Amino acid sequence: MQTHEIRRRFLEHFVRAGHTEVPSASLVLPDPNLLFVNAGMVQFKPYFLGQEAAPFRRATSVQKCVRTGDIEEVGVTTRHNTFFQMAGNFSFGDYFKEGAITFAWELITKSQEEGGYGFDPERIWVTAYESDPEAAEIWERVAGIPKERIQFRDGKDNYWDMGVPGPGGPCSEIYYDRGPKYGKEGGPVADEDRYIEIWNLVFMQDIRGELSPKLGHAPIGTLPKKNIDTGMGVERVAMLLQGVENVYETDLLRPIIDRAEQLTGRSYGVEHTDDVRFRVIADHVRSSAMLIADGVNPGNDGRGYVLRRLLRRIVRSARILGSEKPVMAEFMKVVSDLMAPSYPELATDFRRIETVAVGEETAFLKTLSTGSRLFDETVDQVRSKGGKKIAGTDAFTLHDTYGFPIDLTLEMASEAGLEVDEAGFRSLMAEQRDRAKADAQSRKHAHADLSIYKELVDRGATEFTGFDELTSEATVLALISGGVRVPVAEAGSEVEVILDRSPLYAEAGGQIADRGSITATGGVKLRVNDVQKIAKKVWVHKATVEAGQLTEGDTVLAQADPAWRGGATQGHSGTHLVHAALRQVLGPNAVQAGSLNKPGYLRFDFNWQGQLTEGQKADIEAISNDAVAENFPVNTFVTDLPSAKKMGAMALFGENYGDEVRVVEIGGPFSMELCGGTHVQHSSQIGPITLLGEASVGSGVRRVEAFVGLDSYKYLAKERALLAGVASSLKVPSEEVPARVEQLVERLKIAEKELERTKMAAVLSSAGKFVDTAQRIGEVLLVAEAAPEGVGAGDLRTLVTDIKGRFGTQPAIVVLLGNADGKVPFVVAVTKAAQDLGIKAGDLVGAFGPSIAGRGGGKPEMAQGAGSDPAGIAAGLAAVRARVAELVG
């Protein structure tokens, strides 16, 4: 049975049983505690936590999941996948244990002809929580499973909670016996390779405290409503129903391995080490495609770093298996063909997915080539000294200078039988940059206790009136201060105000929140500083009470600042025009990856490889301003999502849309996007759009910034004044400034080259002096001196090469230590005759390096690097002379 059919049968089974089918959520959700969705219940968390009332009593879904905590285990074992599909059925206060067990048993044992999976009931084993005899009794009574195939386990195996105080409950897991060839008898407690878990039923009935029942601690209470949360591993079921040895040989993964065999010339199933790499490719290719489809782009931290790591492991595995050419485009095409029947976005958005993956591959191949050479040299140096650990400074150099990720260094070091001073590396990383980067928006309510808002969320959504008016009469539903609900807010206090209706826009979709005021009779006045959403439906006005006393239940006037709103609508509508212009100039692959718009300013991130040309930027600006001049009407309407997509409306990747969506149309076909923000009524109201620049913000993601409206005019006026000042200084008309500046730059380049030649001649003139003062130690001539003051690393190498050449075929060593801008660049050169005596340039660096706090490396004939302590130059040179004396006896 094919995997797509397994999914279909699961959903149909539960829909027939009265469940609402819920589409898979994006792998990326605004949950501060999760990097990616990692379980089927994640999108239902607000219902289980009691933050929102569930809109249905029964639900079913097949959820996309990614777990990355054990990437290193992927391929090594045949049970780990980073991406997997979790089929689940959920009950919110409806059926409980008996219902969940009955539904599961019916599906897995019903014949395939009748729409089930057709598992042999005699090969099914189940486990139950050690304190849950009720579940065991139901299995025995409803399913007829004999007691000997029902095993009890402790909380570590058969109790579930979210890892924090909140809902939890005992589990019952369903296992399938694959037979004696896969392990010993005795059920799951004896061997989980033979007895494979396929389904976990969680009976959510408890409230856990700070200490988890998983570790033997008692729950602190009982939930008012008992819920069901189950998860069936689609890939594991496919493995069993398709009769293959492991999940990598199922219909949605084995074709990737087949393509990898063709591209590398190696065969799967011959050698274990190769098999691991084939499985890494199959797993990571699929995971990467699914992540890119949900809007993730390669980056240096967070989700982007995970994706980058997956893509780079694919490339490296393919290279080790023997592929000499790029492979990513081929692999992505296979994944698209395999997965599109269940996830059609992989086909419709294939070009973008392919572009992102291929772009990262291209960049990494350059990194891999350079970094691998340096890594090999580092390994040789460590081994030559009898060491077992690569220094943190070397790992940092690989990362910082050559873009070699630390996880790859760790992986390659392990393969070479070495360790890495990871603590030293982390310390250097901490010194280099502030790692406490935070997305302020995502953390505004990230770790707050949202239960205080539950009643308000259950009451219903805040009515947003701001599309039609800037001032609205409203009722104060609640006041919250310091995380506690309060009846009154006094003058001078900071308070969160929840109204039944509001004209103030709550931050969303890249548009920052409105500023404004809340007033009431008796001189009550609050300044609204920010507006955020709770559960996407309740507006929370963060305000300062400037005068009077506000009481829950008061009738108030809420007003959005007209000037602020006007500027914000200009910025947001301008963003839509720039997006449309980008797609006209660059094509359909230039799709949105993020945005920020506020009064007078817009920032737009989009997927694209490579820097934009000046011509492209000029065209984007011109097309955007042409649309402003056309005075296009701006129309908004609400429709269903399929209809909006059919019309061609653009959607933001990774965003979860409801059944109804709002479409913003500017100039008919010119721009049409799904958007909940505020906009101008005609495009001319945006005013001029001035592109400020374009830059990279991550692999495959570019950013343009622009001013709009009056801010655009002010910027252009400032630029005009600046140009006039330059023209006056150069004593030429403004239109001749570019040519005049070009002439001056060219003259400066000529002067700099002449100065460089003069400087180099002066440096080389000292070469003869160094040769004349060479010290003979045994058979070897040694020059170990301080370089002329101010000689940099590049000139130093030239000087040392010249000195070395003057010694001809004699055994000679040249060591020069410079002193430039507080740094100590150094170069060591060894003639062929001296190398024949066993002397290597790299070995000598270790003699003087500690004195100048420096490190470096290179080949036997030449090594170079730099130190940071000029005070140690004399001691370093003395150490070199002593080391050479040791080497030549």
Lowest mean pLDDT segment, chosen from 90-104, 143-157, 736-750: 736-750
Closest CA to 697 of 615, 601, 595, 620: 595
**In this structure, are strands 550-551 and 494-499 parallel, antiparallel, or unpaired?**
unpaired
Asked if 395 contacts 414 with a C-beta cutoff of 8 angstroms, the reply is no
**pLDDT given for residue 435 in this prediction:** 35
Q: What is the pLDDT of the chain when averaged over all its residues?
A: 88
**pLDDT per residue over 160-183, tens digit each?**
887 777 788 999 999 999 999 999
Lowest mean pLDDT segment, chosen from 246-260, 421-435, 471-485, 686-700: 421-435
Asked if 648 contacts 672 with a C-beta cutoff of 8 angstroms, the reply is yes
Does position 436 have pLDDT exceeding 90, yes or no?
no
Does position 439 have pLDDT exceeding 90, yes or no?
no
**pLDDT given for residue 653 in this prediction:** 57
The full set of domain ranges for the chain reads: 3-248, 253-432, 450-560, 565-717, 766-888
Lowest mean pLDDT segment, chosen from 207-211, 369-373, 416-420: 369-373
Q: Mean pLDDT, to the nearest integer, of 288-296?
A: 92
Does position 755 have pLDDT exceeding 70, yes or no?
yes
**pLDDT per residue over 119-148, tens digit each?**
999 999 999 999 999 999 999 999 999 999
Asked if 314 contacts 328 with a C-beta cutoff of 8 angstroms, the reply is yes
For residue 13, say whether it is annotated as part of any ligand binding site.
no
**pLDDT given for residue 340 in this prediction:** 95
**pLDDT per residue over 101-125, tens digit each?**
999 999 999 999 999 999 999 999 9
How far does Cα 513 stand from its chain's mean position? 25
Confidence of residue 455 (pLDDT cuts 50, 70, 90): confident
Going by CATH, does the domain composed of 565-717 fall within 3.30.980.10? yes
Does position 402 have pLDDT exceeding 70, yes or no?
no
The residue whose two tokens read 């931290």 is: 301
Asked if 123 contacts 132 with a C-beta cutoff of 8 angstroms, the reply is no
**pLDDT given for residue 27 in this prediction:** 92
Closest CA to 58 of 230, 232, 233: 230
Alpha helix ranges (H) inside 242-349: 254-264, 272-293, 302-321, 328-339, 345-348
- Say if residue 681 is exposed, middle or buried (CB neighbours under 10 Å; 0-12, 13-18, 19+): exposed
Give the largest Cα separation in the chain, rounded: 101
**pLDDT given for residue 656 in this prediction:** 61
**pLDDT per residue over 11-64, tens digit each?**
999 999 999 999 999 998 877 677 898 888 888 888 887 777 888 999 999 999
**pLDDT per residue over 780-830, tens digit each?**
999 999 988 767 777 888 888 989 999 999 999 999 998 887 888 999 999
Closest CA to 57 of 24, 22, 29: 22
**pLDDT given for residue 530 in this prediction:** 96
**pLDDT given for residue 157 in this prediction:** 93
In the chain, the amino acid numbered 492 is: G
**pLDDT given for residue 593 in this prediction:** 82
- Say if residue 836 is exposed, middle or buried (CB neighbours under 10 Å; 0-12, 13-18, 19+): exposed
Lowest mean pLDDT segment, chosen from 334-348, 683-697, 750-764, 815-829: 750-764
Which of the listed CATH numbers 3.10.310.40, 3.30.1360.180, 3.30.413.10, 3.30.230.10 matches domain 766-888? 3.10.310.40
Which of the listed CATH numbers 3.40.50.1860, 3.20.20.80, 3.30.60.50, 3.30.930.10 matches domain 3-248? 3.30.930.10
**pLDDT given for residue 451 in this prediction:** 67
**pLDDT given for residue 360 in this prediction:** 87
Confidence of residue 443 (pLDDT cuts 50, 70, 90): very low
The residue whose two tokens read 């079921």 is: 237
**pLDDT given for residue 591 in this prediction:** 81
For residue 65, say whether it is annotated as part of any ligand binding site.
no
Q: Mean pLDDT, to the nearest integer, of 345-362?
A: 90
Q: Mean pLDDT, to the nearest integer, of 190-207?
A: 93
Does position 697 have pLDDT exceeding 80, yes or no?
no
Architecture of domain 450-560: Beta Barrel (2.40)
Q: Mean pLDDT, to the nearest integer, of 732-752?
A: 88
Lowest mean pLDDT segment, chosen from 274-283, 508-517, 555-564, 719-728: 719-728
Higher pLDDT, 273 or 624: 624
The residue whose two tokens read 């990279």 is: 696
Rg value, the chain, Cα: 34
Lowest mean pLDDT segment, chosen from 240-249, 341-350, 783-792: 783-792
**pLDDT per residue over 587-634, tens digit each?**
887 888 889 999 999 999 988 877 899 999 999 999 999 999 999 999
Per the structure block, which two tokens stand in for 680? 């101008």
Does position 555 have pLDDT exceeding 80, yes or no?
yes
Does position 434 have pLDDT exceeding 60, yes or no?
no
For residue 572, say whether it is annotated as part of any ligand binding site.
yes
Q: What is the DSSP string of 426-484?
A: HHHHHHHS------TTTTSSSSS-GGGGHHHHHH---EE-TTT-SEEEEEEEEEEETTE
Element (H, E) at 112: none
Per the structure block, which two tokens stand in for 440? 């302020």
How far does Cα 469 stand from its chain's mean position? 39
